[in-house]
C-alpha cells in the first residue's frame, strides 16, 4: 500500500531464511483484513509503501536449522503475530503478548512467498493436505475465526448465556459462530444488512437487532428483561461500538472486545458504575489454532463462508475497494 486508496501489486525480493527459527512458506491463500482498511482509509498513518497482509495459509518451502516441528511440504496455518509459544505469557494463552513476539513479522502475506519468524511457535500444520474447499476455512482460522473465537471466550459465552454481537463484519459473524460452538443459548447479532443477517443466522444467531447506538442498546435490554446481555462481543473498534457493547452488557456480564480501537476513550465514572468485565485486545489466535483446525478438518464448522469474493492476487486493489465499499464481507486473494 503506497498511500490511502493506493494499492499496487509488484515484484519484491524473494524472502530468504534470516534466522534459524524462520520458515519460508508458499502462500496458498491470503486475504484482506478489516484492520487493513484503517490504513486504506487514511485513519491509521502509513509511512511509505508497506507490504500488506497478515492472514495466510500455505505450504512450507524452506526451514531454518532450528525448526523442529515442521517439514517442507507441510500445509500450515499461521497466526498474525509471530510468537515462541514457550514463554510464560504464551503458556498462559496470550501469544500475541509473547515476550519474543514479532508484531510486524507476518506482514506481507498478500504475496506468493512469506517469511515467518519463530516458525515452531507460530505455525500449525494441518493433519494432511487439505481438500480445496477447506482452504478458505483454514485461512479464516488465521485471524477472523481465531479473533471471533477469542472475543466469545473473553465475553465468557457459554451454556445458558445470552450473547450480543456488535459488528457484522467477518469477525462479528464468526463471533456468532464461536458463541454457538461454545454453547450459548441465545445469540443476538447487530446488523442492518440483509446478506450479513442471513449469514449470522446460518452461523447460529437467534435474534437480529438493526438499531445501533443507544437505540441498539435499548433493543438489547428489551430482549433481555431490561438487564442486558450476559456476554457482548465488540468487533468494530470505534467509540460508538465500544460504548454500545458496554451499555448492552448486564452488571456482572463480560465484554470481549477485539475491534482494533481507534480514538476510543472510556468514561471512568460510567465504567465504574457499570459493573461489567472488559477483556480483549489482539487475539491470541495461536492458542486456539489446534482446536479450530480440527473442527474445520472434521467439517464441524464452515467459517470460510465469510469470503464472498475471491480474486487473483494481482487484482488486490479491486479487493480493497470492495471491502472499503462494503460490497464484499471479506476478500480472499489467490496468489
- Exposed e or buried b per residue across 30-51, where buried means at least 16 C-beta atoms within 10 angstroms of its C-beta: bbbbbbbbbbbeeeeeeeeeee
Least Å from the CB of residue 117 to Zn ion: 12
Helical H segments across the chain, by residue range:
36-40, 88-91, 119-122, 135-141, 144-154, 170-181, 194-202, 213-223, 239-247, 268-274, 285-297, 316-324
Least Å from the CB of residue 31 to Zn ion: 8
Please say which residue, 44 or 185, places its beta carbon nearer to Zn ion.
44
Please say which residue, 87 or 227, places its beta carbon nearer to Zn ion.
87
Q: Strand 123-125 relative to strand 75-78: parallel, antiparallel, unpaired? A: antiparallel
Q: Does 31 help bind Zn ion (rule: CB under 5 A)?
A: no
Least Å from the CB of residue 171 to Zn ion: 8
Q: Does 143 help bind Zn ion (rule: CB under 5 A)?
A: yes
Least Å from the CB of residue 87 to Zn ion: 3
Q: Which range in 26-34, 201-209, 215-223, 249-257 contacts Zn ion by CB under 5 A?
A: 26-34
Q: Does 329 help bind Zn ion (rule: CB under 5 A)?
A: no
Please say which residue, 121 or 253, places its beta carbon nearer to Zn ion.
121
Q: Does 53 help bind Zn ion (rule: CB under 5 A)?
A: no
Q: Does 98 help bind Zn ion (rule: CB under 5 A)?
A: yes
Using CB under 5 A, which of 30, 33, 67, 246 touches Zn ion?
33
Q: Does 135 help bind Zn ion (rule: CB under 5 A)?
A: no
- Residue 185 near residue 209 (C-beta atoms within 8 A): no
Task: Give all strands of the β-sheet with 207-209 in edge-to-edge order.
Answer: 207-209, 186-190, 162-166, 229-234, 249-257, 277-280
Least Å from the CB of residue 85 to Zn ion: 6
Least Å from the CB of residue 32 to Zn ion: 9
Q: Does 84 help bind Zn ion (rule: CB under 5 A)?
A: yes
Question: Nearest CA to 144 among 15, 301, 321?
Answer: 301
- Residue 14 near residue 315 (C-beta atoms within 8 A): no
**What separation, in Å, do the N-terminal and C-terminal C-alpha atoms of the chain show?**
17
- Residue 20 near residue 63 (C-beta atoms within 8 A): no
- Residue 188 near residue 223 (C-beta atoms within 8 A): yes
Using CB under 5 A, which of 7, 29, 30, 90 touches Zn ion?
90
Residue 260 cell numbers, joined: 482494533
Least Å from the CB of residue 95 to Zn ion: 6
Query: Total binding residues for Zn ion by CB under 5 A?
Result: 7
- For residue 233, the 8-state DSSP code is E
User: Cell 464484499 appears where?
Assistant: 328
Please say which residue, 83 or 122, places its beta carbon nearer to Zn ion.
83
Q: Which range in 22-30, 85-93, 171-179, 203-211 contacts Zn ion by CB under 5 A?
A: 85-93
Q: Tell me which residues touch Zn ion (CB under 5 A).
A: 33, 83-84, 87, 90, 98, 143
Amino acid at each position: 500500500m503506497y498511500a490511502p486508496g493506493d494499492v499496487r501489486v509488484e515484484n519484491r525480493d524473494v524472502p530468504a531464511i534470516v534466522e534459524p527459527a524462520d520458515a519460508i512458506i508458499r502462500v496458498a491463500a491470503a486475504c484482506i483484513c478489516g484492520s487493513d482498511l484503517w490504513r486504506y482509509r487514511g485513519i491509521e498513518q502509513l509511512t511509505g509503501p508497506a507490504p500488506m497482509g497478515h492472514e495466510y495459509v500455505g505450504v512450507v518451502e524452506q526451514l531454518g536449522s532450528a525448526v523442529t516441528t515442521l517439514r517442507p511440504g507441510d500445509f500450515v496455518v499461521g497466526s498474525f503475530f509471530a510468537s515462541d509459544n514457550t514463554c510464560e505469557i504464551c503458556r498462559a494463552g496470550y501469544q500475541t503478548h509473547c515476550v519474543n513476539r514479532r508484531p510486524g513479522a507476518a506482514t506481507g502475506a498478500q504475496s506468493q512467498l512469506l517469511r515467518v519468524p519463530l516458525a515452531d511457535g507460530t505455525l500449525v500444520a494441518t493433519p494432511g493436505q487439505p481438500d480445496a474447499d477447506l482452504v478458505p476455512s483454514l485461512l479464516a482460522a488465521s485471524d477472523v475465526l481465531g479473533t471471533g473465537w477469542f472475543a466469545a471466550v473473553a465475553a465468557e459465552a457459554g451454556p445458558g448465556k445470552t450473547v450480543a454481537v456488535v459488528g457484522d463484519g467477518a469477525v462479528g459473524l464468526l463471533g456468532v459462530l464461536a458463541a454457538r460452538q461454545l454453547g450459548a443459548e441465545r445469540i443476538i447479532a447487530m446488523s442492518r444488512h440483509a446478506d450479513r443477517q442471513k449469514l449470522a443466522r446460518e452461523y447460529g444467531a437467534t435474534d437480529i437487532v438493526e438499531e445501533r447506538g443507544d437505540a441498539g442498546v435499548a433493543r438489547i435490554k428489551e430482549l433481555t428483561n431490561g438487564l442486558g446481555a450476559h456476554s457482548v462481543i465488540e468487533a468494530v473498534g470505534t467509540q460508538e461500538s465500544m460504548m454500545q457493547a458496554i451499555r448492552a452488557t448486564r452488571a456482572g456480564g463480560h465484554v470481549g472486545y477485539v475491534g482494533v480501537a481507534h480514538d476510543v476513550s472510556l468514561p471512568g465514572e460510567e465504567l465504574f458504575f457499570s459493573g461489567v468485565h472488559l477483556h480483549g485486545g489482539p487475539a491470541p489466535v495461536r492458542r486456539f489454532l489446534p482446536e479450530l483446525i480440527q473442527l474445520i478438518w472434521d467439517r464441524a464448522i464452515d467459517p470460510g463462508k465469510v469470503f464472498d469474493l475471491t480474486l487473483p492476487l494481482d487484482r488486490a486493489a479491486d479487493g480493497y475497494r470492495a471491502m472499503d465499499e462494503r460490497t464484499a464481507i471479506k476478500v480472499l486473494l489467490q496468489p
